[in-house]
Amino acid sequence: MSRVGKKPVPLGAAKASVADRVVKIEGAKGKLELNVHPLITVVLDAGKKELVVTRPNDEKQCKALHGLTRALLANMVEGVTQGYKKTLELRGVGYKAELKGKTVVLSVGFANQLKVPVVPSVAVSIEPGLGDITNRIVVTGIDKQAVGNFAAELRKLRKPEPYKGKGIRYEGEAVKIKAGKAFAGAGAK
């Protein structure tokens, strides 16, 4: 049996309803819903305030869907009660981010500014940075996938380069810095 799938999902402060393969979860931060695969069964145990995920057999696809469905439901409960947050750091001389309406405007060393429209399911805020960090972009929301995907899309626009470390990176991300040509030439003398 799936180790992840057999654990029930505690609801805590969230409310859930299951009807016709659709699981709706509501909490202080908002509402989310999930269409469950036909092979998987989700039952709400109102007495214990938890969701129980079961599968009909031990076929490979059923096992995979069992754990996946349980993990998605757990992420939904955490999202509507606590929310998710990803922080990106801009490093580089002249690199900056601005929020103009529902658009993030990035100046990251290109001739033109990059304009990225904010996805409706996430909220974005810009904070000043400290030291060599010029700006911080904070992406928050209740949907873990939407928050992570939007943060990854922003990072992809200017990944941290390995020689000076300039670019957009996740908070706390370590970038291995290479020595470069000057170091290689010095050793040859």
**CB 124 within 8 Å of CB 139:** yes
When divided into structural domains, the chain yields a total of: 2
Percent of the chain exceeding pLDDT 70 equals 95
Distance of CA 64 to the CA centre of its chain: 21
3-class DSSP assignment, residue 99: strand
- For residue range 134-163, list pLDDT tens digits in order: 889 999 999 999 999 999 999 999 999 999
Q: Report yes or no on 56 lying in a domain.
A: yes
pLDDT for res 159: 93
Q: Report yes or no on 96 lying in a domain.
A: yes
Question: Are both 119 and 69 inside the same structural domain?
Answer: no
Q: List the domain range (segments joined by +) for residue 17.
A: 9-81
Q: Report yes or no on 53 lying in a domain.
A: yes
DSSP 98: E
DSSP 152: H
CATH of the domain at 75: 3.90.930.12
Distance of CA 116 to the CA centre of its chain: 17
pLDDT for res 93: 87
Q: Report yes or no on 2 lying in a domain.
A: no
Q: How far apart are CA 148 and CA 137, in angstroms?
A: 13
**CB 49 within 8 Å of CB 12:** yes
Asked if the model's pLDDT at residue 1 lies above 90, the reply is no
pLDDT for res 130: 79
- For residue range 94-110, list pLDDT tens digits in order: 899 999 999 999 999 89
DSSP 22: E
